Amino acid sequence: MPNQRSTVSNSFYFGRASVAYMGLDDDAREYHREEPPGKLEIATTKPTNTQRDLSLAYSPGVAAPCRDIADDASDAFDYTAKGNLVGVVSNGSAVLGLGDIGAQASKPVMEGKGVLFKRFADIDVFDVELDADSADAIVESVAAMEPTFGGINLEDIKAPECFEVEERLRDRMNIPVFHDDQHGTAIISGAALINAAEVVEKEVSELNIVFSGAGASAIATARFYLSLGARRENITMCDSTGIITNARAEEVNEFKREFTTDRPEGDLADAMDGADVFVGLSVGGIVDGEMVRSMADNPVIFAMANPDPEVDYETAKQARDDTVVMATGRSDYPNQVNNVLGFPFLFRGALDVRATDINEEMKRAAATALAELARQDVPDAVVKAYGDQPLQYGADYVIPKPLDPRVLFEVAPAVARAAVESGAAREELAPDQYRERLEARLGKSREMMRVVLNKAKSDPKRIALADGSDEKMIRAAYQLQEQGIADPVLLGQPDDIHRTADRLGLSFDPEVVGPDERELEVYADRLYELRKRRGLTRTEAEELVRRDTNYLGSVMLDSGDTDAMLTGLTHHYNSALRPMLEVIGTDDNADYAAGVYMLTFKNRVIFCADTTVNENPDAEMLAEITRHTADLARRFNVEPRAAMLSYSNFGSVDTAKTQTPREAVSILHDDPEVDFGVDGEMQADTAVVEDILEGTYGFSELEAPANMLIFPSLEAGNIGYKLLQRLGGAEAIGPMLVGMDKPVHVLQRDDEVKDIVNLAGLAVVDAQE
């Protein structure tokens, strides 16, 4: 069992070294070779279109920030990319699965690390491959680059030099220095250990822990477990010779010497006998079923060698009849210990408070945040990304999945907070504002929805959820209540709803209105009163209220027993909308309802209407839809600029179809209450391209490109928003129903929990107003 660095999975850029993966090898070569070669590029973040732009970016304008930084070095964080730039540094002496391949050959790996930093935490990276063999040479080279970077990630440097390099650089540099091969595995497996101990109902301080492997990762992980509460006397470490006993203290290096034990000499099998936890950071296939059976009741097994774990998942599970909490470095088994759950978010939190170090408190905060996240309900998008396999806290789910976007919002703030509390931070961030900054990094839609959800939380309202027995709706209700966005009322069979909530492990007692409750009589009376002259009998009214939660929810809202309503998750759009129109109807100042989608791009937001309701709107309808959509935009703090779309530009084609949007513009221009920009008819590119709008059509009423696109027909609107979403890379939020008398929204049948929460938040804001 050789001493080697962690073999924990990073399946994002490595395949397994076997004949079966030759196809993957060839695909990877083509992937890297395709123009432009590699995986990273540098992009500008400021305009460079004019001579003035260039004079600001470089000489002579650049002299001003240079002088400021010369006077105060901290200004570099304000004027340059330093605060979001990490150096990924390696000499290629211990590359995962490849060994000592040298600096040049390690470059694809370091670029890959940069991809992960950017993909998961929006951190920019320069990869630095040093042709240096000694610790002195690495330290001097890296220390000299401190003015360039906000942090240093050391990668694939062999032990024991890696310990010295990191320690000396941390002492010498005033920015975070982090050796991921040591601490990444420690943090992620530490999070798993916290939850595993809870699952098997044992205290961390009581766990007898055996390590297979005594390299850099094993040493760092053992140290970290001590900081989580494990006891040194309960840790047994084995290397290729066997148990590292006190008798061997003189023959091992100083780092192994930290974990010598007074127990008798023996091999790994001896060490595992009676152990509560096995931590494998060595080589595959060295643990068999008999060794697993020798462990204590309900054992925890972290077999993290890659590509083949010390003991495979099936062998470990089949060896025992009791609970086995099993984690590996592989993505095809539960509980993958993957360093990508750690380093991007550690650095995100550290960079955002301009930390001088990543200390033990910050690492512990990261592990604790990961452990707590695993206990929460998992978003639908994450479940889908992993083949719809069940993801619920327990033996097979003690750490979050790498593709879970919530990791950023949980780990980075926890790390930042720990940096402030431990004195490592140079800046302090308000928690709410910091979360909004993080939301913005993951896309405009999150930033926009944060505006609405914050408004909702200021005054939560009661919202009826018509598809109350559906699992997604129950999960959404839990989140709405847990986050303080709304007070949900689930409509459906109470026994089914409570049974589903218990199965999902949701610890809340939702308010439920079922079809058999006596109080529904009053709702049947109300429905009959509203629809008796439309052919509805009293008996039919009671049947509808008890059988169809869309009617029940609509009447409850009409009666004032709830403030808003959502439906549509288990119904076609039209059948879900009909009861709302019959019972709630449109606003007193509205004749029509309409469906609006908000499309968010990287730096742009566009509202599209009508996309779901009115098939062939006339000019009056288009004008009304525009007013409603403008009101909606303002709820998102967006000042509306509306374009009436057509295939004509300002009269260039004169037909009945082009006259309709043109007439709608005239109606809006003549309306003294319209206080936003609107113009048309115009083609879609005229509406959204500044050069066309201001150049060719400088007379337009719009001061900037439109952020509201009003389509001439339902067909055009539905096609248009879907093309923008699929080909333009936009995220779509909606459909949001406007023009109704009370806050109601109709979901799409394939909507996820987050979509339900978003529309519920919007409905609450509607109700507030």
Residues assigned a catalytic role = 58, 113
The whole-angstrom separation of Cα 765 and Cα 486 is: 10
What does the alpha-carbon distance between residue 437 and residue 446 come to, in Å, rounded to a whole number? 10
The CA distances from residue 328 to 300, 319, 335, 433, in Å, are: 11, 17, 7, 37
91 contact partners, CB below 8 Å, separation of at least 6: 102, 103, 106, 129, 130, 131, 132, 133, 138, 156, 157
Q: How far is CA 578 from CA 189, 462, 548, 629, 744, in A?
A: 52, 22, 12, 21, 12
Alpha-carbon distances of 601 from 27, 43, 644, rounded to whole Å: 31, 18, 21
Contact 242, 211 (CB under 8 A): no
Residues 6+ apart with CB under 8 A from 28: 15
Closest C-alpha among 588, 585, 521 to residue 558: 585
Residue 371 CA to chain centroid, in angstroms?
16
260-265 long-range contacts, Cβ below 8 Å, gap at least 24? Answer: 261/233, 261/235, 261/236, 261/237, 263/236
| Closest listed residue to residue 428, CA positions, set 413, 440, 441, 439 | 413
Tokens of 141: 């080279």
Neighbour-count burial for 403-422, b at 16+ CB within 10 Å, e otherwise: bbeebbbbbbbbbbbbbbeb
First-to-last C-alpha distance (Å) of the chain: 68
Is 740 in contact with 591 (CB distance < 8 Å)?
A: no
DSSP code string of 484-540: TSEEEEEES-HHHHHHHHHHTT-----EEE-TT-TTHHHHHHHHHHHHGGGT--HHH
Strands (E), 220-276: 235-239, 242-243
Specify the long-range contacts of residues 676-679, CB closer than 8 Å, at least 24 apart.
676/630, 676/639, 676/640, 676/641, 676/642, 677/640, 677/641, 677/642, 677/701, 677/702, 677/703, 678/626, 678/641, 678/642, 678/643, 678/644, 678/702, 679/642, 679/643, 679/644
Separation between Cα atoms, residue 476 and residue 482, nearest integer Å: 10
Structure tokens that stand for 661 in this block: 């949007």
Buried b (16+ CB within 10 A) or exposed e, 256-291: bebbbbeeeeeebebbbeebbbbbbbbbbebbeeeb
Q: Please compute, for residue 609, the number of CA atoms within 13 A of its CA located in the half-sphere on the CB side.
A: 32
**Contact at 8 Å (CB) between 582 and 568?**
no
What are the angstrom distances between the C-alpha of 51 and each of 46, 79, 94, 695? 13, 20, 48, 20
Nearest Cα residue to 468 out of 580, 578, 571, 583 = 571
CB 117 within 8 A of CB 143: no
Query: How is residue 377 annotated by DSSP?
Result: P
**Bridge pairing between strands 85-90 and 151-154:** parallel
Q: Which residues contact 43 (CB under 8 A, 6 or more apart)?
A: none
Token couple for 67: 């002088």
